[in-house]
Amino acid sequence: MKLEEFDNFKVPKDEMQDVELSHEDPINLHSKKLQDDLQTMGMKIQLHEDNIRFLRTLKDKLVDSIIDLQVILGKYHASNSPKIENKDGSDTQSEDKPSYQKAILQQENSAASILCHLKTNPKMLASDPTMSEDVLGVVAELGHVEDDTLSSLLSEYLGTETMSAIVCKTYNGVKSLEKYDTDGGINKTSGLHGFGTSLGKTLEGRFNVISLETLRPYSGEFVADDPQRRLDIPKPRLPNGDCPAGFLGYAVNMINIDRTHLFFLTASGYGLRETLFYSLFFCLQIYKTRTEMLQAVPCITDGALSLDGGIIKRSGLFCLGNRGDMKATFSKTSTNSSLPDHYMESERQMKEMKWKKEKMLEDMRRERALLDSLKLNFEKKKAEFVQFLAEAAARFSNLYLSHFLHTGSHKLQLQWGDQPIDDSGQGIDQSSKEWLNVLEVSGSMLVVVGHISHDGIVLLYDMHQRWIGDSFFRGLKEMGIFCNTKFVLCITLPLTAL
């Protein structure tokens, strides 16, 4: 609100006898509103500062707990996963390469093959931190199944391109795999292309990449007390309400996730099953025989497979003919992959803590942004308040001076040194008589206005007892009364805050 909006505000005659400001006048009300706004903003600033301190304390505690669990899990991995370091710095597991890896490595110049080579050479992969941290691997290595038949069926259903697709946690990982020149061409010296060149391979053709953070996740419940966190999807029902004969389950729940990725969570808190595998299979149904699968067609919405080779891609799309020879397939679940209960619980706790830490960091960034914005607005509001008070003081001093110069009930007496000065200017050194060069009221000056003393002497000072005469001089000049700038004035008033 601008002070000019109060220009039409007049002091009634019956109130002019007592010039104490009313607490209900417009300027007083607006001043109180500005003060209330500042107080409210100050409380909000304090709240955000407290929130940041609280979140920082919780985050530090979580980091300490994560480190403790990493030590425990690291000891377990060290005792159960012996490695032999080659001369070139690569690590070789004591176990044989799984079937999917052998099949992918045979695709000499594919993106999946280059990535598999990189994962056996951690030192080379570490040269690109984003790729090292964000890329999980290829689809084929992220899941396992109970038997070879089901593995072949699921792999055939997805196809070689999808089984060899590279999976990234975020879109930053996708960007790290391939970079472009200013003209839009592929930069062959960076990303996966650059690593391929270093390995003596040339990446050929297109390749698929999946970003987990951009997938639409499963949003339902999970099977209770299931260490694999399978999805609690209702069983299909025929029109008569019965579950179809031969129904074995949903493909998304027949994938077993190994301990390395079982407790992985995206920034939004979703795991591999409800993101990657749900987006690949949705509610794909598995049946024992083709005959039973065909009988269940009325309740098949997202496709179905049968263990004897039947495939329905989706409702109304049937795949006929002989089964293909899939080389890149899901590995069979190892019978020796069982883990002690305390390990599984520690792994789960660590993944959950890491997710909570990321959420806290996001909350802290949001609180910091809100705090910075509030502080900026607070400074603007404070400057507005101070300027408002200064301008209000100048205008009110003119109002009261005008009244006392033109009323017969009081005589305004000016004092210069020890000599009184009348309205005509008698008593002023005539050689120094001049019109006042009116000064602007300082924006930092806080003025208080109150009563004029009974003896007619007008005093004006700020809250720090420093004299201010410019507003008084301005009032005299506007009324045609000359004065000398050497006047030293104080205005003494019973203080009434605006």
Residue 479 has a pLDDT of 42
Q: Do residues 450 and 397 make contact, with C-beta atoms less than 8 angstroms apart?
A: no
Instruction: Give the pLDDT confidence score for residue 69 in this predicted structure.
Output: 77
Q: Is 483 left (phi over 0), alpha (psi -120 to 50) or beta?
A: beta
pLDDT digits (tens, 9 = 90+) for 305-362: 999 999 999 878 888 888 777 777 888 776 444 556 666 677 778 778 888 888 888 8
CB 460 within 8 A of CB 467: yes
- Residue 339, burial from CB neighbour count under 10 angstroms (0-12, 13-18, 19+): middle
| Angstrom distance (rounded) from CA 131 to CA 209 | 13
Q: Say how far apart CA 2 and CA 189 lie, in whole Å.
A: 62
- For all residues of the chain together, what is the average pLDDT? 73
Confidence category of residue 169, pLDDT binned at 50, 70, 90: very high
The amino acid that residue 460 corresponds to is: L
* pLDDT for res 435: 25
pTM, two decimal places = 0.55
Say what percent of the chain tops pLDDT 90. 32
- How confident is the model at residue 372, as a pLDDT? 92
Spans of all domains in the chain: 5-18+391-496, 107-148+156-214
Q: Pick the most confident of 71-80, 363-372, 401-410, 482-491.
A: 363-372
Provide the CB-side half-sphere exposure for 90 (13 A, CA): 11
What residue has token string 């000019």? 4
Lowest mean pLDDT among 47-61, 65-79, 194-208: 65-79
CB 171 within 8 A of CB 130: no
Task: Of 442, 493, 494, 450, give the one whose Cα is nearest residue 468.
Answer: 442
pLDDT value of residue 465: 37
Side-chain-facing half-sphere of 444: CA atoms under 13 Å:
2
135-138 sheet: strands from edge to edge: 135-138, 166-168, 209-211
Contact 228, 256 (CB under 8 A): yes
Give the pLDDT score at 45: 92
Q: How far is CA 56 from the centre of its chain?
A: 15
Please tell me whether residue 372 adopts helix, strand or coil conformation.
helix
Predicted pLDDT of residue 288 = 94
Instruction: Give the pLDDT score at 139.
Output: 94
Which residue's structure tokens are 């001089």? 473
Helix (H, G, I), strand (E, B) or coil at 432: helix
- Tell me: pLDDT of 245 over 80: yes
Mean pLDDT of 181-195: 91
pLDDT at 172 over 90: yes
Tokens of 9: 């505000």
The CA distances from residue 446 to 29, 38, 313, 461, 465, in Å, are 17, 16, 79, 9, 11
pLDDT tens figures, 411-464: 333 333 344 434 444 433 333 333 222 223 333 333 333 333 333 333 333 333
> Could you tell me the sign of the dihedral formed by the alpha carbons of 165, 167, 172, 173, in that order?
negative
Q: What is the mean pLDDT of residues 283-292?
A: 95
- When computed from its CA atoms, the radius of gyration of the chain, rounded to whole angstroms, is 41
Band (136; pLDDT cuts 50, 70, 90): very high
| Joined tokens for residue 495 | 């203080």
Question: Where is mean pLDDT largest: 15-29, 81-95, 375-389?
Answer: 375-389
Highest mean pLDDT out of 145-149, 173-177, 337-341: 173-177
In order of 88, 92, 168, the CA distances from 85 in angstroms are: 8, 6, 27
Within 112-271, strands assigned E span: 135-138, 144-145, 166-168, 209-211, 247-250
| 180/201 Cα distance (integer angstroms) | 19
88 pLDDT band (50/70/90 cuts)?
very low
**Average pLDDT for residues 393-398, to the nearest whole number?**
60
Which range of 186-200, 263-277, 283-297, 389-403 scores highest in mean pLDDT? It is 283-297
Pick 1 or 238 by higher pLDDT.
238
Cβ neighbours for 348, distance < 8 A, ≥ 6 positions apart: 263
Decide: helix, strand or coil at residue 49.
Answer: helix
pLDDT(40) > 50: yes
Q: What is the mean pLDDT of residues 254-271?
A: 86
Q: Which of 84-88, 162-166, 181-185, 447-451 has the lowest mean pLDDT?
A: 447-451
Region 275-302 average pLDDT: 95
